[in-house]
Structure 1
Amino acid sequence: MKLLAIFIILACGSNLGSAAERDAAITENELIRRTQELYDAVVPGDQAPWKKYFADDSIFADEKGRTMDKPKLIADITPLPAGYSGAIKLERVQSRIYDNVAILSYDANETETIFGQNLSARYHITDTWLRRDGNWQIVASQAHRYYEDPAVGKADPKKFPDFIGSYELASGQTRTVVADGDSLFVERNGKKEQLFPETSELFFRKGIEGRILFRYDKDGKVDALIDRRNNEDVIWRKVANK
């Protein structure tokens, strides 16, 4: 009888241990629920979920290039100003869940209304969750913003003759600007790309970060094409017509 009692106790203890382990596990749906809870707290500036789900030693890198520890992250969670509203929703979620580590990677689609004007932005975020003493918290989070082309403005074809011509970066490295009706193009090494106007003198190529602008000299003539990338300029000097 004693042996039977010991066996029953051991079996019950084993079942309790298994139940505790199951309770400590986490699912993709639970990660999504917690993450959505975080973003639902952004608009009202509710810091409680961020304090709860981010570990004290967490690292947070946002889409602006800032890297923050938990105190700085929490301090950054403040209510939107009066006249502002919005929401952030998760989409295209992927997860990898292991014994004590879970990774959640997803798109965060943001909509914002500023005094009746609607804005939107898309981010991709990857969170790393770690289980410590049965408690799952984020230890690292990194976000980047998807590039979006600016709105197409109105070109001024009367200015195209100023822009048309060849531009040289270095010996043997040239690109040519040509016009076709009301559209402007840049050609290099047989590749032709349309320059879409943001303003009459500021252009962009679809799907490519940066801007193309034309520099005027003191005499009012275009002397360079500027390829502006992340606020840094690559200057192509205009080649005089022969």
Structure 2
Amino acid sequence: MIALILAVALAGPAATSLETTLRAKDQALLDAIAPGDRGLWERTLADDAIYVDENGAIMDRQAFLKSLVPLPHGASGSIAITSYRVQRHGDSAFVIHQDEEHEMFHGQALLAHYLMTETWRLERNEWKLASAHVYVVNDDPPAVKLPAATLAEYAGRYQAAPDLRYVVRIEHGVLVGGVEGAPLQPLLAEVADVLFLKGQPRKRLVFQRDGQGKVMAFALRREGHDVIWTKLP
């Protein structure tokens, strides 16, 4: 029991020390992105490092370093780590951190959130970044208010398959929708005929009209791919 307590006591500070070390390294790497500081990345990346950027491009060490250039004229910004987790397994450490980017683009403020997963490897008593995968955390778009008459045009029952229907209706002045038989959720408008569900920014309901302007269907769009729901009589 004494040995176990001692092991836990020793592991705690060690884990904290490693988190402090790697977090500082990661923040320095993020700080180097805007000015395109390749030197720091060259010193930190392992020789066989793999980097997957937020657009899904898979790059080896050389390709990533080549892509690292200063922000263009009129753009400035910074990225800050907002949460950080690390787990060590021998000479490897697995990291997950969330980041917030603030950017000024020709006088307009932009905000983005990222989730990064990384593998660090201890080489000759120095931690090297062996792999990194950047994931964009999508935010809901701004919602606009549409006239009540427009909202009423979306109301109805839609079918994607004989056993799969979607209901859209107005409840207490609010447009709601969902799969038939399931709880309905508020539908918000990004623009006319393009709706979304709060907290589900990967999805859009894109309504389709006929030549007379009557709503005939909607496409449930996710990552550029559509499932068509046809409006029932």
Match of 2:137 among 140, 146, 165: 146
Classify 1:29/1:221 alpha carbon distance in 2 versus 1 (closer, same or farther; 3 Å).
same
Matching residue of 2:193: 201
2:199 maps to a residue whose letter is G
Is the Cα contact below 8 Å between 1:155 and 1:182 reproduced in 2?
no
Q: CA RMSD for the aligned pairs?
A: 1.6
Is the Cα contact below 8 Å between 1:86 and 1:110 reproduced in 2?
yes
Deviation at 1:150, TM superposition (A): 0.7
Q: Secondary structure at the match of 2:216?
A: strand
2:195 maps to a residue whose letter is F
Matching residue of 2:76: 85
Is the Cα contact below 8 Å between 1:127 and 1:142 reproduced in 2?
yes
Deviation at 1:229, TM superposition (A): 1.0
Classify 1:91/1:190 alpha carbon distance in 2 versus 1 (closer, same or farther; 3 Å).
closer
Distance 1:60 1:48 in 2: 16
Deviation at 1:66, TM superposition (A): 1.5
Classify 1:98/1:228 alpha carbon distance in 2 versus 1 (closer, same or farther; 3 Å).
closer
Q: Secondary structure at the match of 2:35?
A: coil
Matching residue of 1:223: 216
* CA deviation string 1:173-232 (max 9, x = no partner): 212211235431114214111110111211100111210121112332211121111111
With the length of structure 1 as denominator, give the TM-score of the two structures: 0.83
Match of 1:186 among 160, 177, 180: 177
Deviation at 1:98, TM superposition (A): 4.1
Gaps of 5+ in 1: 1-25
1:32 maps to a residue whose letter is R
Aligned residues between the structures: 215
Gaps of 5+ in 2: 1-16
Distance 1:89 1:53 in 2: 18
Distance 1:203 1:210 in 2: 9
Deviation at 1:160, TM superposition (A): 2.6
Match of 1:41 among 26, 32, 38: 32
Q: Which moved more, 1:82-91 or 1:151-160?
A: 151-160
Classify 1:100/1:190 alpha carbon distance in 2 versus 1 (closer, same or farther; 3 Å).
closer
Matching residue of 1:13: none
Is the Cα contact below 8 Å between 2:193 and 2:208 reproduced in 1?
no
Runs (4+) off by over 4 Å: none
Identity across aligned pairs (percent)?
30
Q: Secondary structure at the match of 1:64?
A: coil
Is the Cα contact below 8 Å between 1:154 and 1:200 reproduced in 2?
no
Matching residue of 1:74: 65
Deviation at 1:163, TM superposition (A): 1.5
Matching residue of 2:226: 233
Q: Secondary structure at the match of 2:121?
A: strand
Q: Secondary structure at the match of 1:155?
A: coil
Matching residue of 2:3: none
Distance 2:190 2:212 in 1: 25
Distance 2:43 2:61 in 1: 11
Distance 1:136 1:126 in 2: 16
